[in-house]
Amino acid sequence: MPDQASSTPARRAAELRAQLLQHAHRYYVLDDPEIPDADYDRLFQELQAIEAAHPELLTQDSPTRRVIGAVLDGLAPVRHQVPMLSIHTETDTTPAGAEKFDARVRKALALDQSAPPLAYHAELKFDGLAINLRYERGDLVQAATRGDGETGEDVTHTVRMIATLPKRLRGADAVRAAAIEVRGEVFMRRDDFEALNQRQRKLIESGARGEKTFVNPRNAAAGVVRQLDAGKAAKRPLSFFAYGLGEVDGWALPATQGELLAALKRLGVPVSDASAVVRGAAGLVGYHERIAARRDGLPFDIDGIVYKVDELALQERLGFKSREPRWACAHKYPAQEQTTLVRDIDIQVGRTGKLTPVAKLEPVFVGGTTVSNATLHNEDETRRKDVRIGDTVIVRRAGDVIPEVVGVVLERRPVPIGEPFDLYKKLAGKCPICASAITREEGEVDWRCSGGLFCPAQRKQAILHFAQRRALDIEGLGDKLVDQLVDSGLVGTLPDLYRLVLASLMALERMGEKSAVNLLAGLEGSKRTSFARFLYGLGIRHVGETTAKDLAKHFGNIDRLMAAGVEQLLEVNDVGPIVARSLRTFFDQAHNVEVVEQLRAAGLSWPETEGVAVDAVPKPLAGKTFVLTGTLPTLSRDDAKDRIEAAGGKVSGSVSKKTHFVVAGTEAGAKLDKANELGITVLDEAALRAMLPNP
């Protein structure tokens, strides 16, 4: 970046024109911007200020005087009958931005203070690609991009793929019209954008060439529209909202902008329901604030509001100034993307042991707040974006979403710069919190701490999992109490739960004697459990309830399980290499074994068996699949499931042709209907008990 203080106005203006032309080419032509909109706006405004102070420096080809764009090779040029001009951008995101626009309009119309407030039509400023749709005799005959405002690109082949866009207008008036050009924005919904990027990542991972992920929905939409292959466009869902007209021949124009959009809607053209007619500066400010409160919940991106004088006759009277209409203005919101420097890359350990790289940033104001940290998601994403310490990056923050780094501004990368990010090397293979080994399973993107029960970053999650109903079932031990116990230092690891005393519990905020006594009773009652429940409660990765039961049946006691090698673990029903390695990694950590031993010393116990030898006895329900539905008279859903599995049966959550029996209680619903439809045997509780070895 040049030293602006030592640069003459002429030299600086030339630098700005060159930069703006370069960035506009990447934005409009390549659909691959290097900087966020906010940075472009700042450069644009700086050039405007220089040209205003030094009119002799204003050139005919200045970006401030024309719309920038070009036609891609392979797309036919389309000359617009009515130019597609841009509108003035008001970057003052405060209410003053709306008030300035109202003041300019009233001055241009020579209205004094006694004149009533003007009627404005306020609309969302969609973050997409401007398109001109030409209908002749009601039929869609051409779709074109804005291009440079005078000449755009023929993208009829891709725009026709937009499912919500009418290929033929409704109404006799539209069918009789020689031409109606509808102008609007093609955009991509946020959910469609996320789905598209997910598909792109899978293609990239599979080795597909020439594929990439997209920085934001706008770039994705523009890239789809300007595809030469309509087949690819058909696979990438787009949306469209109309906001105005181009050439019109043979169709009567309404009197106002609001009536115009209503008329387009009657013709079958998609129109946003969020627009409104408001009065005066106060109405504009109120609308801007109402949409700001809803912005993050919208299904698509917007970066501001567009204000238009509502009466079309007044629009014509106000006319245009250079490249912009005097009767319209875009009022921006705080930018959701900004550029800043990466000072360092830190590693955070989540509640489940997931290791997340986080960029430590030069503080930057983005999305309405100052941001100094931004997630990099995982090592693969950090490498894909090639984020390195010292880089200038684009940071995005929308609403309450965690700020993220979406890309690197490579043209600002310092030389030399460090090596590509390597999480394992940075941590020397150890968790930054507890020094346990970090692991990443084949096919997964996340590194994880193997510390589990021992790692302080994971202790709250470990305690909640251990205490849940399907594990040790410790009544009264919920999220808020776990937060108190850990934050106060009373509980650091699972065995500490069984060292709690009445006095220390009652010292906690909002903890009465009755609640404390009940918790201690719940802890005491949890000491008598089953091997399977205890094993599941340890929270070993990939060991769910069913796997815990299979392991408990196979090994009979925990000492044999902890000593088992990978090959022995693979002998267990439904235990594959991933589960076996996860078990071995867990029990290879001395601190995890220590937690198990301390829990046993605290009094936790369960019936033990000889394991495989007992399991070899034939089970009456072996090979049979059951589905439970409704409420049984005496058995809970968990009890029924445990008894079926103890007898060798399998319990599934859905009815299919592979289901052997459906056990139905009161208020049985769709599962019972499906069973009857497929002719599957339906049992009540009594019939189920009759099939069990110990009814």
Active site residues: 125
- What the block records as the tokens of 65 is 């005087």
DSSP-derived letter for residue 622 is T
Host H or E run for residue 183 = strand 179-187
Q: Please compute, for residue 346, the number of CA atoms within 13 A of its CA located in the half-sphere on the CB side.
A: 13
SS3 674: helix
Strands (E), 188-258: 239-249
- What the block records as the tokens of 175 is 């069918």
Q: Please name which of 638, 509, 613 lies closest in space to residue 557, comparing C-alpha atoms.
A: 613
- Separation of alpha carbons 133 and 155, rounded Å: 10
Residue 299 to residues 126, 237, 451: CA-CA distances in angstroms?
11, 14, 39
Q: Which residue has the tokens 């974006």?
A: 385
Q: Which residues contact 622 (CB under 8 A, 6 or more apart)?
A: 647, 648, 649
Residue 663 phi/psi, 5° resolution? -95, 115
Angle between the N-to-C axes of helices 190-205 and 217-225, in degrees from 0 to 180, rounded to the nearest 10? 70
Could you please report the per-residue DSSP string of 435-490? -PBEE--TT----EES-TTS-GGGHHHHHHHHHSTTTT--TT--HHHHHHHHHTTS
CB–CB of 225/186 below 8 Å?
Answer: yes
Q: Which residue has the tokens 């470990």?
A: 462
- Separation of alpha carbons 238 and 163, rounded Å: 8
